[in-house]
Amino acid sequence: MFARDRQEAPEEMGVLRQKIDTVDAEIVRLLDERARFARRIGEIKREKGLDAYAPARERLVLDRVMSLSEGEFPRSGLEAVFREIISCSISLEARLKVAYLGPETTFTHEAARRSFGTSVEMAPRATVAEVFTNVERGEAQYGVVPVENSMEGAVAHTLDELMNSPLKICGEIYLPVSQNLLSKEESLGSVSRVFSHPMALSQVSSWLRRELPRARVEEVESTGEAARKAAREAGVAAVGSELAAEVYGLNVLARNIQDARANATRFIVLGKSWSEPTGRDKTSVVFSVKDRPGVLRDALASFAEEGINLTRIESRPSRKRAWTYVFFADFQGHPQEERVKRALMALEEHCPYVSVIGAYPEVSAEVFG
């Protein structure tokens, strides 16, 4: 009986594989058909002067795809597949260049790939300011930079650039940050120096003190630069991503060494204009307030009165006068909504300066893989 079962199993597998081949052929046919539609849409966009990248449309497509799924194919895999399909479609519509805070293999690189896929041209830049400048000059159509971390708070360089740039936030990405110890060495005992970006080092400080108390810790510009050093120099380890280990041929000596397990970074997509409304959006605004008691409470009261949820507020020195500050706020809603229009008008009554610096589809802040 057992021998007969073993004989029948390959026959059934053969039938199932034939069915998979038939499905694969249909998938390829439909992808070709989708590509033809995408090319035509690209032609229409060029004729009308419209952007090839449409975050609102992308969000609607992904939401619709998720709603169509019967659950057999993993949801995370389904989103990844369709994000790459969308990326390929964008490349058929127009040639896009995306600047990001590099070098390659940094978490910002990973965030850019998650947002745009792998079919667009990626351009690493050394600083946040260079990313802004590239997009402002039209050398890249979009930029991706970090804006805040769940452990370390706001990224000051990004906020400072947003204050003075004409660019708008048109998308956001939340990326779970898994820090790892990478090295050419085979064991922790061979590591005498550890390199990484200051923020990454602060996220793993307890682990380093406990596991590598004698190692010298040194800061570099990025986790990617740290991985390059680890690949070239004996006794050196880097704190960075598994992608960096793969690219630079490094061993992963320890995984998930960050002090807090719920560690995520929020990144923003920069463009010349904000996104169209989807019904589930977020708006970012920067404003200054008049110098009088209770003014910040009064300025923000309009959001509560309109039933608008503020998801973040951050202050930064204005850099124009000592001890004066500007405020960055994110809230749920889109500037085209009437309630948001009323709230912004009320905000202007209390503030000498108000600027909407972005509107984009809202992404869940849950840490996901």
Question: Does 324 participate in catalysis according to the annotation?
Answer: no
Predicted TM-score (pTM) of the model is 0.78
- Distance, CA of 213 to CA of 360 (rounded, Å): 44
Q: How confident is the model at residue 367 (pLDDT cuts 50, 70, 90)?
A: very low
The half-sphere exposure of 89 on its side-chain side, counting CA atoms within 13 A, is 23
- pLDDT reported for residue 6: 56
- pLDDT reported for residue 255: 92
Q: Which CATH class is domain 96-177?
A: alpha beta
- pLDDT reported for residue 321: 64
- pLDDT reported for residue 344: 93
CATH of 274-361, one of 1.10.260.30, 3.30.70.260, 3.40.50.10210, 2.40.110.10: 3.30.70.260
The half-sphere exposure of 274 on its side-chain side, counting CA atoms within 13 A, is 23
Q: For residue 359, what is the enclosing H or E element?
A: strand 353-361
Domain boundaries, given as residue ranges, for the chain: 2-91, 96-177, 180-254, 274-361
For 135-181, give the DSSP string.
HHTTSSSEEEEEEEETTTEE-HHHHHHHHH---EEEEEEEEE---EE
- pLDDT reported for residue 368: 42
- Model confidence pLDDT, tens digit, residues 90-138: 778 778 899 998 888 888 998 898 888 888 889 999 889 999 999 999 9
Identical fold between 2-91 and 180-254: no
- pLDDT reported for residue 206: 94
- Model confidence pLDDT, tens digit, residues 243-255: 889 889 999 999 9
Mean pLDDT of the chain: 87
- pLDDT reported for residue 128: 92
- pLDDT reported for residue 262: 72
Using alpha carbons, list the distances in angstroms from residue 109 to 101, 137, 318, 342.
7, 21, 30, 38
Using alpha carbons, list the distances in angstroms from residue 126 to 106, 108, 132, 306.
11, 12, 11, 42
Q: Which of 107, 132, 267, 328 is catalytic?
A: 267
- Model confidence pLDDT, tens digit, residues 135-155: 999 999 999 999 988 777 888
Q: Which fold has domain 2-91?
A: Chorismate Mutase Domain, subunit A (1.20.59)
| Longest pairwise C-alpha distance within the chain | 88
Question: Does 118 participate in catalysis according to the annotation?
Answer: no
Does position 308 have pLDDT exceeding 50, yes or no?
Answer: yes
Distance of CA 17 to the CA centre of its chain: 37
- Model confidence pLDDT, tens digit, residues 178-204: 899 999 999 999 999 999 988 889 889
Q: Quick one: average pLDDT of 298-323?
A: 83
The tokens for 316 are 């930064």
- pLDDT reported for residue 231: 95
- Model confidence pLDDT, tens digit, residues 2-37: 555 555 567 788 888 899 999 999 999 999 998 898
- pLDDT reported for residue 4: 56
Q: Quick one: average pLDDT of 300-323?
A: 83
Domain made up of 180-254: CATH architecture: 3-Layer(aba) Sandwich (3.40)
Q: Which of 105, 133, 158, 265 is catalytic?
A: 265
